Chains A and B, each alone.
Chain A
Amino acid sequence: MKIHEVVAGQATEMTFTTADFEYRGKLKAEVPADFTLPGVAGFKLNHPVNRPDLFDEVISFVGASYFRALGQGNAYGLSSRGLAINTGLSKAEEFPRFTGFWLEKPAPGAASTTIYGALDSASVTGAYRFVITAGIETTVDVTARLFFRAPVDELGIGPLTSMFLFAAVNRSQFDDYRPQVHDSDGLRIVRADGDVIWRALNNPKQLASSYFAETRPQRFGLHQRARDFADYQDAEAHYQQRPSVDIEPQGDWGAGRIRLVEIPSDLEVHDNIVAYWVPEKKPAAGDSLELSYRMHWGRLELPDTEDRAFVAETSSGVGGAAGLSTPPDTRKFVIDFKGGMLGRLPAEDGEVMPVVTVTNGKADITTLHKIDGTDIWRLVVDIASESGAVCELSAHVAGYGKKLSEIWMFQWVKP
């Protein structure tokens, strides 16, 4: 790609030579000195985020339309893309790429910097503006103008790409000393009416796809909620530092669907999770589209003042009562709701009740109780179904005429 520097409205191409790079091993002798390169693979931007005397890496753009950013205390995890086209359909996915960038030179001490990107692929060309503000939560304001050369079956806006190998919900499938391995553990959707969906991620046996019909959602994103080293016990990967990302639509996005794709995976090097917005209207050749959204990169932990309890953990295992014979065809799901007004209610509160729905199965046993000495209410549900059934599970805690928790969701295929 070509990179240009923009000063006072004038763009100048930045040229790079082999002298700008470090070549090691036998390449050191083979690469000519001061050879002008036809382009570069990408770039990164640095800004003090964790200490005032260090310029930390904040964002990098490299590879097709991929980019990723960091907030304070983060290490790189999930990535985003400029655009997704025909992801996970029955035909080949198309990968647009940024072919050029224009970087506005920020004034000394500026809080934000602006870059522009040209996107290109067989079906679409586009102009992107990114306004990047580094901080505890790094924000990226994205404006995309897209021009379609060809019809697109499924357009993915604000695509996020992550990894979920295992956690307490599927721990038994992996012989690994670590309790959890993932860059993200849930898809969080803040609906237009304020309801919050927490779709716990899965590493399914079969390719899995979930569509969430939404109109003007407030936010959606992939989150990493487990934030302690003990959650992962990985002294190299430090999964507890991986950022969460929210996509906050700007303006009226109208109706569409948030799509979640979960790809079976047996290794953590494979990104197997994808989430993006699919506009209701399919673009046709000659169409143009402009969309804006704000990306939030950081820990994105919920404040203590949050009204609703949030899903702190999703676990699963064989159904039935511990210590007794295992009933056939059931699986136990354990959902911990933490904090919020629910967490401040006493264990004996009579108003609090679980609301559980199961599609293609039934809830055999449902219990809800507060764990002593904590602000956690534990919901335990045994689900029964037939072999091969695709069960959609949904649960929340209600009381006093309203939802007291997020809406937990999970897709389970009965083996």
Chain B
Amino acid sequence: MTMTAVVSIHSPDGTAAPVPDVARAMVLGRLPDAPTQMPTQRLVRDAAPVSFLRALFFGPLGPVGT
């Protein structure tokens, strides 16, 4: 499926700004087929080991932004 897109950029003061080419370039072009389908890609094998995850889960969670 090939589809073009429209983009709007709202500046920090809340007003709509002209659409910059760089933003348009981000979404124009070819979209992946059926982008809402679930992936079939192989997950990388170096996933975090259980002990590492457990340390994350059960250790104290620090302040936001660490």
Contact = CB atoms under 8 A, between A and B. Distances in A.
Contacts of B56: 127, 145
A118 interface: yes
A209 B61 CA distance: 35
Contacts of B62: 290
A252 B64 CA distance: 8
Contacts of A394: 14-16
Interface stretch (A211-219, A296-304, A318-326): A211-219
A413 B57 contact: no
Nearest to A95: B39
Specify the main secondary structure of chain A where it touches its partner: strand
Nearest to A249: B64
B7 A209 contact: yes
A394 to B, nearest CB: 7
Q: What class of interface size applies to chain A in its complex with B?
A: 35 or more
Q: What class of interface size applies to chain B in its complex with A?
A: 35 or more
A211 B15 contact: no
Interface stretch (A16-24, A85-93, A309-317, A375-383): A85-93
Interface stretch (A52-60, A172-180, A200-208, A337-345): A200-208
Given A120-B43, A209-B6, A394-B16, A88 B35 contact: yes
B5 A209 contact: yes
Nearest to A272: B36
A411 B6 contact: yes
Given A129-B61, A359-B18, A390-B19, A89 B43 contact: no
A129 B10 contact: no
Nearest to B62: A290
B38 A95 contact: yes
A100 B4 CA distance: 38
A118 B16 contact: no
A210 B47 contact: no
Nearest to B1: A207
A102 interface: yes
B63 A251 contact: yes
A64 interface: yes
Given A11-B54, A214-B12, A392-B8, A89 B38 contact: no
A411 B47 contact: no
A118 B53 contact: yes
A94 B39 contact: yes
Contacts of A392: 8, 10, 16
Contacts of B35: 88, 92-93
B44 A149 contact: yes
A151 interface: no
6 contacts: A88-B31, A90-B27, A90-B30, A147-B48, A206-B6, A252-B65
Interface of B: 3-12, 14-19, 23, 26-32, 35-36, 38-39, 41, 43-44, 46-48, 53-54, 56-58, 61-66
Nearest 10 CB-CB pairings of A with B? A251-B64, A392-B16, A127-B56, A207-B5, A92-B32, A90-B29, A359-B16, A116-B57, A210-B8, A212-B10
